[in-house]
Amino acid sequence: MTLWWGQHKYLSSAQRGMKVLLISNYRPDRQQSMLRYAEMLHRELSARGYDIRIVHPPVVLGGIAFLPGPLKKWIGYVDKYVFGLRYLRKQVCNVDLIHVCDHSNAMYLQCAGNKPALITCHDLLAIFAARGVYPNVRTGFTGRVLQHWIAASLSRAKHVICVSKKSQDDLEVLFPDSRSRTRVIHHHLNWNYSQSPIDAITNAKKQSGLESEAEYFLHVGGNQWYKNRLGVMRIFAALRKYLRFKNVKLVMAGKPWTPEMRQYAASSELVNEMIERVEVSNEQLQALYSGAIALLFPSLEEGFGWPVLEAQACGCPVITSSRAPMTEIAGKAAFFIDPEDPENAAEMIADHISDLSVLSIAGFKNLARFTKDGMINAYIKFYEEVASKENLMALNNPSASRPITGK
């Protein structure tokens, strides 16, 4: 009778408004996608009546402006893993559940103590790289130590949200017993992308140095090795050999080009046909998606691949890699290529260019699988399952851990 009453009382409390602590990322690292992810959860869960608080590891020493880059990195480690752990242990009071929003912060799970906790796994790329899985990717000694710590902490996570089946499968490669601890919940768009009007598209072209009638392919991404930005350039160079694409441009939105990319652009004699757009706003990016021939997204690896959905929301056809998770996220609404074979990719695109317009309609249909309500409902269900399960375990075995009271 006591067990039933305690469980029933807890579930009723959860339904009325669970108190959730979101642990987000260290702000000076400027991991914008992770910061936006936590902010989105905070906004949407608060709108559903949950009592949500979001915290970040404190900026104690990392705010010193005159520190050189390498020293800032080490100071950041002190903030995150010395001051951060102490700070976060104090933040878990008076909450019902702790959600670590980025797997690279898996060590913060220890701050939860006996309280229900879960973590989101976005990808395992850095962990795999540190273990030598990718032959051309090198990780330094301190990076290997850090990734070993992250992996060890992640292996002890009792409840994990994976943003794609690919991430879930990769986690199972690392930890064969992890499947029962994971739940796949796909992302929704992290900004309300939609088709832009003609005047916004014209303005975005002007900002990119393009004429109003100019045609262009678009790539969106940073300079991480798996984004394959040099591969994007090579595919574009191969496309320019075809008459249809003789006057087409390439707009690359994201981080500044690397020296290797600049060297390739110059040597290919296409430096004036490839346009570098740095840190564009969401509004500008939406317009660039809306006006492009297609998104060219030949990533080698991804955890999810937000640009695929962003493009589809704007009616932009998607050309992407024939690899998971791109195939998982794009569904049947994309044209798939081998990201490491530029000549063959260009030939396939040239042969099927007339089919790309069909992908715009298919993209809108595909988006129906990634609704905001569907995502948030899945999070709420998982939160309440985790809290209920952990509380029930505490009630059944009080000697192992104290009951979860939220205080």
Report the CATH number that the domain containing residue 325 is assigned in CATH: 3.40.50.2000
* CB burial readout 105-129, b (16+ within 10 A) else e: bbbbbebbeebbbbbbbbbbbbbbb
Instruction: Average the pLDDT over 308-337 and give the result.
Output: 97
Please check whether residues 139 and 219 belong to one and the same domain: no
Give the mean pLDDT of the chain: 90
Q: How many secondary structure helices (H) and strands (E) does the chain include? A: 16, 12
On the 0-12 / 13-18 / 19+ scale of CB atoms within 10 A, 102 is buried
Q: In this predicted model, which residue has the larger pLDDT, 71 or 98?
A: 98
Instruction: Flag whether the pTM goes above 0.85.
Output: yes
Q: Rounded to whole angstroms, how far apart are CA atoms 80 and 76? A: 6
**Pair 71, 10 in one domain:** yes
Q: How many CB atoms lie within 10 A of CB 393?
A: 16
> Is 403 contained in some domain?
no
Q: Is the model more confident about 357 or about 170?
A: 170
Whose tokens are 């695109």? That residue is: 349
**Do 120 and 82 touch, CB atoms closer than 8 A?**
no
Pick from 112-116, 195-199, 397-401: least confident: 397-401
pLDDT digit string, tens, across residues 376-406: 999 999 999 999 888 766 666 655 544 333 3
Provide the pLDDT for residue 402: 40
The pLDDT confidence band at residue 8, using thresholds 50, 70 and 90, is very low
Same structural domain for residues 170 and 295?
A: no
Percent of the chain with pLDDT over 70: 90
Residue 73: in which H helix or E strand, if any? helix 69-78
Q: Give the Cα separation of 185 and 165 in Å (integer).
A: 9
In the block, tokens 């794609």 appear at 164
* Residues spanned by the domain of 167: 2-188+372-396
405 found inside a domain: no
* Structural domains counted in the chain: 2
Its sign, for the CA torsion 233, 239, 243, 248, is negative
Q: What is the pLDDT of residue 67?
A: 64
DSSP-derived 3-state class of residue 223: coil
Cα pseudo-dihedral 126, 130, 132, 136, rounded to 10: 60
- Model pLDDT, residue 404: 32
pLDDT at 407: 31
Residues 96 and 230 in one domain: no
